[in-house]
Amino acid sequence: MKGLGLTDSTIKTYLCILESFFKHTRKVRNFTYQEISDYLDYLIVVKNNKARSRNLVAKIIRFYCREFEGREIEIKKAKEDKPIPKICEDKDFSKILSVTPNIKHKLCLQLMRYSGLRRWEVIRIMKILSVRVPKKSLLRTLAVAMRLEVSFIGQLFYRRSFRRTRSPQLQLL
């Protein structure tokens, strides 16, 4: 396997995985697709391996079949779990808002946090607000916008619902 350009650690990993596979199937050559599939299922069900580990084993078995037996085997990949994104906690978000002096920036952060809008959608809303609203009533409009839940569908913006309670930032206005 060194002639294929594999490092020592890769060769050691491949041999360890293949040895386990050979012990399970009690064969070294001419194993069937069903035996491979049963072994991969065994890894997930009995050994509680993750999908990523199962896919690695499948890749190594596929490599062995291609390089040493001269046959191609199609093995479907298991779907890997996607990690849940980390969300900013309420305390952390309050700290971020407390150090943000600009009210427009506070509005942008609150729109992203509470309505789920993306950054470019919030920027677009802010551009619309700055064009349509005279400067004297800007603070009032921003306060109203903070209470709105805004959705973006195509090019249209519409109001879905008002929040009945005022947030502490709105009471300062």
Residue 166 scores a pLDDT above 70: no
Return the pLDDT at 60: 93
Q: What is the dihedral of CA 8, 12, 14, 19, to 10 degrees?
A: 150
pLDDT tens track for 31-56: 889 999 999 999 999 999 999 999 99
Beta strand 148-153 pairing with 156-162: antiparallel
Q: Quick check: 5 pLDDT over 60?
A: yes
Q: What is the pTM of this model?
A: 0.49
What's the sign of the alpha-carbon dihedral 134, 140, 142, 144? negative
Give the other-Cβ count within 10 Å of 125's Cβ: 20
What are 73-86's pLDDT values in tens digits? 888 888 887 776 77
3-state secondary structure of 100: coil
Indicate the residue type of 126: M
Q: How many angstroms separate the CA atoms of 38 and 19, rounded?
A: 16
pLDDT in tens, 83-104: 767 778 888 888 988 998 887 8
